Amino acid sequence: MAILLDGKALAKKIRIKVKSKVSKMPSPPGLAVVIVGDDPASRFYVDNKKKDCVKCGIVSHEFALPENVCEDKLMTLIHELNHRHDIHGILVQTPLPHGLNTQKIIQAISSNKDVDAFHMLNAGRVLYGEYGFVPCTPEGVITMLDHYNIDIKGKHAVVVGASNIVGKPMAMMLLHHHATVTVCHIHTVDLASFTRMADILVCAVGKINLITADMVKPGAVVIDVGINPKSDGTICGDVDFEAVSQVASYISPVPGGVGPMTRAILMQNTANAADMLN
Ligand code: NAP
The DSSP-derived string for 203-224 is E-S--TT-B-GGGS-TT-EEEE
Atom of ligand 1 nearest to the CA of 258: 41
Contact call for residues 159 and 174 (beta carbons, < 8 A) = yes
From 225, 228, 254, 263, mutation site for ligand 1 pocket: most ligand atoms within 8 A of C-beta:
225
> Active-site residue among 114, 116, 224, 240?
116
Active-site residue flag, 116: yes
The half-sphere exposure of 276 on its side-chain side, counting CA atoms within 13 A, is: 16
The DSSP H or E segment spanning 249 is none
Question: In Å, what is the CA distance from 19 to each residue of 12, 29, 49, 52, 274?
Answer: 10, 11, 14, 10, 13
> Given a cut of 90, is residue 131 above it in pLDDT?
no
Please report the pLDDT score of residue 1 as a whole number: 94
Q: How confident is the model at residue 128 (pLDDT cuts 50, 70, 90)?
A: very high
The band of 277, judged by pLDDT with boundaries at 50, 70 and 90, is confident
For ligand 1, atom 1, name the residue with the nearest CA: 163
Burial category of 87 from C-beta neighbours within 10 Å (exposed 0-12, middle 13-18, buried 19 and up): buried
Mean pLDDT (the chain) is 97
Rounded-to-integer distance, Cα 53 and Cα 1, Å: 35
Tell me how far CA of residue 259 lies from CA of 38, 43, 250, 273, in angstroms. 21, 15, 17, 21
The HSE-up count of residue 169 (CA atoms within 13 Å, CB side) is 27
Minimal-distance CA residue to ligand 1 atom 35: 226
49 carries an active-site annotation: yes
167, 189 in Cβ contact below 8 A? no
- Cβ–ligand 1 contact at 122 (below 6 Å): no
Q: Compute and round to an integer the Cα radius of gyration of the chain.
A: 19
The predicted pLDDT at position 92 comes to 97
Give the residue-averaged pLDDT of 206-228: 98
Q: What's the Cα-to-Cα distance from 253 to each of 126, 142, 181, 193, 259, rounded to whole Å?
A: 26, 16, 23, 23, 9
- The amino acid present at 165, given as its one-letter code, is I
Per-residue pLDDT, 130 = 87
Residue 102: predicted pLDDT: 96
- Write 46-49 long-range contacts (CB < 8 A, 24+): 46/93, 48/263, 49/91, 49/263, 49/266
Q: Please work out whether the CB of residue 159 comes within 6 Å of at least one atom of ligand 1.
A: no
Active site residue 103: no
In ligand 1, which atom is closest to the CA atom of 210?
18
Q: Best of 205, 227, 266 to mutate for ligand 1, by most ligand atoms within 8 A of CB? A: 205
Proportion of the chain above pLDDT 70, given as a percent:
100
Q: Which tens digits make up the pLDDT trace of 66-106?
A: 999 999 999 999 999 999 999 999 999 999 999 999 999 99
Give tens-digit pLDDT for 138-163: 999 999 999 999 999 999 999 999 99
| Residue 278's pLDDT band (cuts 50, 70, 90) | confident
CA 110 to chain centre: 19
- Check: CB of residue 259 under 8 Å from CB of residue 242: no
* Per-residue confidence (pLDDT) for residue 114, from 0 to 100: 97
203-228 mean pLDDT: 98
User: What is the CA(208)–ligand 1 centre distance, in A?
Assistant: 11
